[in-house]
Amino acid sequence: MNNIDELIYKNLDINGTDIAYKNISFSELINSIIKNGALINVAKDLNIQVWELNKILPTLFTKPKKSKWKNYLLEIASYKYCNGCEQILELINFPVCSNALNGINSYCKYCVSISNDIHYKNNKPMYRAKEAKYRANKLASTPKWANLKLIEYIYDCKPYGCHVDHIIPLQGDIVCGLHVETNLQYLTAEENMSKGNRFNPLDFEQIMSQ
């Protein structure tokens, strides 16, 4: 078995490497699903009927109803297929996405970055207007007693790959926070994008404990 086959095999309770149906091996089944995707194509590749596949697969795996077989099996091995570059990559190469079925973007980080760059170049006026609005809101949310030197220090010491996030968003739907040192935290880019402007009341505890 190749690397992905082995990882899937190790993460599942499979009795033997052969499937008790027309001597189809576990490796052949997995490779065919990953290569062909749709079960109708897998059936043709293995020279069996689709209904036979639908009989075999549930005896081996417990797949969520809305998941596709290819995606489900790859994710068992911590891999995923990118809809952009059409490569099979490790899950760590994909950003989180709250709107996705499994919380993971269908496009890898590289494809997302390229898409974002293209969108920015094609919509510069819109982005500049948003940036100007954000700067104005930040200025309006900065009280006179804010420790500006400490705020600057927090931004300067930001770890690589992280964003400086406002625990209580400056433009939240429920409540708006202040641009002060105690309302700042470090989040990874994925965590920050996932959070957006949502506010969790439990975050008050984090601020009050500082």
User: In this predicted structure, what is the pLDDT of residue 118?
Assistant: 84
The answer to whether 88 and 4 are in contact (CB under 8 A) is yes
pLDDT at 15: 46
Residue ranges for the chain with pLDDT beneath 50? 1, 15-17
- The backbone torsions φ and ψ at residue 59, rounded to the nearest 5 degrees and listed phi first, read -80, -15
Q: How many whole angstroms separate alpha carbon 195 and alpha carbon 179?
A: 17
pLDDT in the model for residue 2:
53
pLDDT, position 72? 87
- Domain-wise residue ranges, the chain: 3-77, 144-208
pLDDT at 1 (0 to 100): 45
